[in-house]
Amino acid sequence: MDMFTLRRIKLSDVAFGKQTCIKKGVLFINKDEMIQNLLDDNHLKNVDIQLARPGESKRIIPVKDVIEPRVKLEEGVDTFPGIFSDADYVSGKGTTIVLEGVGVVTSGKIINFQEGLIDMSGPGSEYSVFSSNLNVVLVIDPVDGLGKHEHERAVRIAGFKAAHYLGMAGKTASFDQEVRYPVNEIPELVTRYPDLPKIVYVCQVIAQGLLHDNYIYGLNAQGCLPMLVYPTELMDGAVLSGNCAAPCHKHTTYHHQNNPIIEDLLSEHGKTLNLMGVIIAPVRTALHEKERIGNQVLKLAEMVGAEGAIVSEDGGGNPEADLMILTRLFEKNGIKTVLVTDEYAGSDGASPGLADVTPEADAVVTNGNGNHKVVLPPMSETIGHLECVDIITGGHTGSLKPDGSIEMEIAGVMGSTNELGMENLKTVAI
């Protein structure tokens, strides 16, 4: 049995300094060096780095992705496999250094209307877990004339490079906590816990094109069939976000790295359940693709003897057809299924919350209603481009008021109804 270790360094502040390093719980960043590192990409014209701490009167908009700095302790392998090196090794083993409490946030000129905001204080901060991070914000300008897809890729890679650059500072710093996870093979799982229910977790990853994509070991998930992986592989960046779904339920890279469903299942593994693995399930657009992927997911679940499954959604609307196809397949083949999603149920909550339903879906956890309306007060400082609020998901023409306040749906707040359950709302059964 192999082991996977998260070596956590808990940080209390972030500041610019002469050297990128960690001292007494503070992450110091050599701003000029970090910017030059990012400008090696000739698709980028300019990069600025700004800091946003919890409680500050700052608004970050438009946000594209959030990444937690992580690097491998061992030489020859790394986090974000397939990005900085060939994906010729299996992630999720060995020791990974984590800069806990830090988020690399990519921002700058808007690429797609499905980008969101993070408020560091006020009522907007209550809807986003990212408001409690020490955020290192990359404000990125592409070169003139760059197309949307090239722009998205350049910003995405810049975020990973920045997270890797900061993570390297943790290699020489003392750590605060080590969390160890077993990495088990299937025969070992079957024999070690024969009396516990065998569970699989199915994690949807959007793979729909038009800036709605995720990346598995660096490969666009559009070209992938479902994969059975160790739960710890996602903690090492085996799945990375290039996904411009609505901000409220977009899975950022940070969400994949810190997937709370995986963490909760691992905490119960060997106690109340036997976690047989995680199935990464791409979400395509056409019905025949959804049916093909659903049958492949069922095959993998049956191969490991699954008796129960948790299935989390990625995005909204179209992916709900995949949820229901899979639920029907699982339930009809004796695999009890729980769905984890969110809703678009209208501002009054009275409209149907999901685009598709099936009678077999009788166990559903919802993480909130993206149509819920809020008024966000003005902030003293904006990082990025405030005018974008009138066109992003959740906003509308006139959302931005003359005094700088914003009237919008929480659909525009990053992670407000996250479908992995990493958010501040709570579900109440009635």
**Residues forming the active site:** 244
Q: What is the spatial order of strands in the sheet that 44-52 belongs to?
A: 44-52, 134-142, 102-108, 65-67
Instruction: Look up residue 141 and give its amino acid.
Output: D
Burial class (CB in 10 A: 0-12, 13-18, 19+), 293: buried
Q: What is the rounded CA–CA span in Å between residue 219 and residue 282?
A: 12
CA R_g for the chain = 21
Q: Give me 338's structure tokens.
A: 């729980």
Q: What is the rounded CA–CA span in Å between residue 27 and residue 428?
A: 39
Beta-bridged to residue 364, according to DSSP, are 339
Nearest C-alpha neighbor of 49 from the set 64, 63, 67, 29:
29
Q: What is the rounded CA–CA span in Å between residue 142 and residue 355?
A: 36
Beta-bridged to residue 105, according to DSSP, are 66, 137
Instruction: Look up residue 412 and give its amino acid.
Output: G
